[in-house]
Amino acid sequence: MNIRAYTPDDFDTVAAWAQARDMTLIPQLLSPNGFLVEDDNGPLMVAFGYLMFDCPIVQIDNLLGRPLSDIKSIREALAIIQRAIIGWIKNINKTGGFDYRLIRCFVSPIMAGECAKIGWNVDSTALNCIRYVIH
């Protein structure tokens, strides 16, 4: 597996993953800080990092895996994304004079269980994503 930057050319693939989970992605709302893990079959997992400038939190959004992927591959891709995001944040802290200390992400209960296995703290509160579009 390898990790690379997400590009707009990946949108159709990632949007299909979201649609398989009854989610809708809006391309204009995706961070330019996207991470995409690939395996021999192509894209496998994606995540987008959003920097908060008024508090030391990095929000990870749309952490999605290719539907029907085996759990072993998802676990490996998740660990790769975690390492890449932590490295990205450490680099931002070092070069930009920031002090980001917390990574936050809203995920499904199944993904939360997998994340707990690799060191994430899991808050078991059920949450729903809401959004409002200003016209």
List per-residue pLDDT tens for the chain, 135 residues long: 999 999 999 999 999 999 999 999 999 999 999 999 999 999 999 999 999 988 999 999 999 999 999 999 999 999 999 999 999 999 999 998 899 999 988 888 888 888 888 888 888 777 776 767 677
User: Per the domain annotation, does 127 fall within a domain?
Assistant: no
Tell me what pLDDT residue 24 has.
Answer: 92
Helix (H, G, I), strand (E, B) or coil at 88: helix
What CATH number is associated with residue 59? 3.40.630.30
User: Per the domain annotation, does 64 fall within a domain?
Assistant: yes
Tell me what pLDDT residue 112 has.
Answer: 85
How far is residue 58's CA from residue 9's CA, in Å, rounded to a whole number?
A: 25
Residue 65's domain spans which residues?
A: 2-117
Under 8 Å between Cβ of 92 and 100: yes
User: Per the domain annotation, does 135 fall within a domain?
Assistant: no
Query: If you count them, how many residues does the chain have?
Result: 135
User: Per the domain annotation, does 87 fall within a domain?
Assistant: yes
Tell me what pLDDT residue 132 has.
Answer: 72
How far is residue 101's CA from residue 1's CA, in Å, rounded to a whole number?
A: 27
What's the gap between Cα 65 and its chain centre? Answer: 9
User: Per the domain annotation, does 61 fall within a domain?
Assistant: yes
Task: Give the count of domains, the chain.
Answer: 1
User: Per the domain annotation, does 86 fall within a domain?
Assistant: yes
User: Per the domain annotation, does 126 fall within a domain?
Assistant: no
